[in-house]
Structure 1
Amino acid sequence: MKLTSITAERHYFNEKPKGTPLRLLLSFTNGKTLRLRVAGDGQRMILDSDPLPSPTEMDEFGRTELSDVTRDLFPTLSGLAIDRIAELVWHRTMVGICLESETSSSFYFWVDGDELHWGDSAALQSHDWLDDVLPSVTEKTISVN
C-alpha cells in the first residue's frame, strides 16, 4: 500500500499556524486512512480511521483548518510504499507508529508532551525523552481499516 497524502488539522491564531498539527490523517492508495491524535493524557497516541473534524471558528481564540501537508511537511513520504506500520512503545505505552518500507528508511510519528512529533531515526533518537529511554518498535502491526 502506498501513502498518497497526509492531511493536518491545525490551530490558527492571528492567521498563523500555532504549534504542531492537532491531528494527522494518513491516506493510502487502497482508500484506507489512519488518523493520528494525542490522547487526553498527552502521553499516548490514539489511532483510528475516523475523518478529521470539520474546521471550527473559535472567535478570538482563532480557528482550526484542514490542509494537505504532504508536500510541505512530508515530501519524502508522498507515494512511499509502506510494507508495515508498527507500534512505537515507550514504558509499555503506545506513543506512536513506525512506517516501514523496503525502499526507504523507517519514518516515525510520536506523541510527547501533548504534541505530535515526527521524523527519521535520527529525529527519534535526538528527541528529549524523559529518563533518556527511547521508545522501541514492537512486533505488533497496525492494521489500516
Structure 2
Amino acid sequence: MKDSNGWKIVSTYSTKQAVDDGFLVKVDSEASKEAGIKFPVYLTRAAWDKYVEVPKGMEQVQNLSGRLWDVMFMFAFQARKVSSNFLQFDFISFLPDEGNWEPNEKLESPENRLNRLVTLKAVIQAQDFDDPSPAIFIMKPNED
C-alpha cells in the first residue's frame, strides 16, 4: 500500500485501533460539548487513569464526570487564548498523597498536599490517518 505521495506504508496504527486496544479513551461528545469543545476529544490511557478516574478512597468526595469536567473545562479555557495546534495547560487535580508524584505535577498549596497543579498537553490534528477531520488529543507532557 502507498500513500498519496507514493511512499510505501510500512505500518499504521489508527486512532480507532488505539481506542479498541485501550491506549486512548474517547471522551463522550456530550461531555466535551458542555465544555464548549466542538471536536472529538481523546485522552491517553495514562492521563485518563491518573486524572479522570476517581482514586481509590476518594469515591465519597469525587466523581468521574466532575474530574473529566475539570480537564475539559481548563483545556477549553486555555485553548481560546491560542491559535496553535499545540497547547500546554494546567488544572488542579485532587489526588491522594501517596508518593506517586510525577514531573508534570506540583504542589498547588503547602496547606493541602491533596491538590496538585497538573500540566497536560493537547494536540489538535487529524482524527486518523484516513480521516482528516480535526480531533483533540490530550496527554501527559512526556507522551506523544
Task: Give the TM bin, normalised by the shorter chain.
Answer: under 0.3
Please identify which structure carries the higher helix content.
2
Bigger fraction of residues in strand: 1
Larger radius of gyration: 2
